[in-house]
Amino acid sequence: MNRFPAEQTPQPAITPLTRPGGWRLVGHDGLPSTALRMGSRPYATGGRWRVQWLPTLLFVMLIASTGIASAQPPPGYYDAAYMLSGPALRSALHDIVSPHTVLPYSGLWDDFVSTDERDDDPAEVWDIYSDEPGGTPGYLYNFGTDQCGSSPGSEGVCFNREHTLPVSWFNDQSPMRTDLFHIYPTDAYVNQRRGNLPYGEVGSADYTSANGTRTGSSITAGYSGEVCEPIDAFKGDLARGYFYMMTRYMDVAQQWNSDMLSNGDLSPWAEALLLQWHADDPVSPKEIERNNDVQALQHNRNPFIDNPQWAWYIWGPTAGLADIGNDGPDCWYAEGSLHRRPSHEILRVVVTDAIGRTVMQGSFVGTSLLLPELPNGVYIVRGDVRTLRFAR
């Protein structure tokens, strides 16, 4: 991937796409970039860029051009969701992913063979409670021979079916009971130790698995009960599974019962936690492949894997931001800086994080404005420019 220093970042001109409200990038060489479609929605890319134009907000996300496969929703799959935010987006996504083909519970063992096989050996289980990314797991399971229905007395004996939203939360009802977007094959003993605990950040651990999954007292802001904390490499996977479940089942979630839930939605502390996990652990090739494999079985997809930005459009302080805007000049984010077209006008900007804290105030004098080092997350730019939301 070609990279440019911030002061040399090529400044694309923007020309309209054929669909009203769309935009196209023209690269630094003066040639139009390739117009993409996600579903049948036109996007633009120049190898380093993907831009979606909303009526009152421009959302820009940097996309690495190497090393990550693309999720493949059917053409037009998300058409009804584009240009929406907040409750309207959640409702549209619910209608897109519902209903789905309901799988038999006994068949999940065979389904795992296609959804959760390890890359290095397809006969072995990819277990989020025992895997050690970049290292060697303490134990590995084979499909078929190592499955079990009940928990043994120690770790590393067999695997079973882990409902990341425990079945007791929704009274073991269908179709949640067999929805693969929240069910994984995991070590049976670690599954038992987690039990019905909500996910959270652990302070003092009373149990730690071989790969570092822990249970114990919570240090999560807003919750002080007992929780289970997975390793960092899978926190985003689990968060996006929860966003899916709260969207797919938004019409019945009012009946569910858990400290992570409130009135048919995520409780405030769980919402903040999962959005942070979502930002800190971005979508991985494993998730993209699993999304495609689950679609082949139950004929729906997880929208928050295909379009991670939608989580911030529905939950958190920036939800519904697409309904807010102004008529200021356009700016965009790229490689650590904000950019604008050439102008002699001095433009004031204020950058805030997703909970409204100011992380920077500054002014455009030239065509770029260097940002400070920022942790992963969503940021909002306001001031004398058109409202901008970007993720890094």
Contact 46, 27 (CB under 8 A): yes
Percent of the chain with pLDDT over 90: 58
Confidence of residue 327 (pLDDT cuts 50, 70, 90): low
pTM, two decimals, is 0.74
- Of 372 and 378, the one with more pLDDT: 372
> Which of 268, 284, 314 is the last residue before a domain boundary?
314
pLDDT at 250: 98
Claim to verify: residue 242 and residue 331 sit in the same structural domain:
no
- Residue 81 in any domain: the answer is no
Looking at the fold, whether 298 and 373 belong to one and the same domain comes out as no
In angstroms, how far is the first alpha carbon of the chain from the final one? 17
Q: How far apart are CA 247 and CA 109, in angstroms?
A: 26
CA distances from 231 to 202, 216, 273, 294 (A): 11, 14, 14, 23
Q: Is omega for the bond preceding 99 within 30 degrees of 0, making it cis?
A: yes
In this structure, the answer to whether residues 297 and 378 fall within a common structural domain is no
* Predicted pLDDT at 18: 28
Domain co-membership, 280 together with 328: no
pLDDT-derived band at 220, boundaries 50, 70, 90: very high
**Higher-confidence position of 29 and 280:** 280
Mean of pLDDT values over 56-74 = 46
**pLDDT tens across 149-171, in order?**
888 999 999 999 999 999 999 99
Do 171 and 223 belong to one domain?
yes
299, 314, 329 — which closes off a domain? Answer: 314
Least confident of 57-61, 99-103, 216-220: 57-61
Residue 38's pLDDT band, with cuts at 50, 70 and 90, is very low
pLDDT tens, 181-216? 999 999 999 999 999 999 999 999 999 999 999 999
Distance, CA of 46 to CA of 99 (rounded, Å): 36
pLDDT value, residue 357: 82
Count CB atoms within 10 A of the CB of residue 49.
20
Q: Are 170 and 301 contained in the same domain?
A: yes
DSSP 361-387: EEEESSSEEEPPP--SSEEEEEESS--
Same domain, 334 and 266: no
Cα separation, 391 vs 203, whole angstroms: 29
254-274 per-position pLDDT tens digit: 999 999 999 999 999 999 999
Domain range enclosing 265: 86-314
DSSP E strand stretches across the chain: 13-16, 23-26, 34-38, 41-45, 51-53, 58-61, 159-163, 183-187, 202-208, 214-218, 226-229, 261-262, 265-266, 332-334, 337-339, 347-353, 358-364, 368-370, 378-383, 388-391
User: What pLDDT score does 320 carry?
Assistant: 67
Let me know whether 303 and 332 are in one domain: no
Residues 206 and 304 in one domain: yes
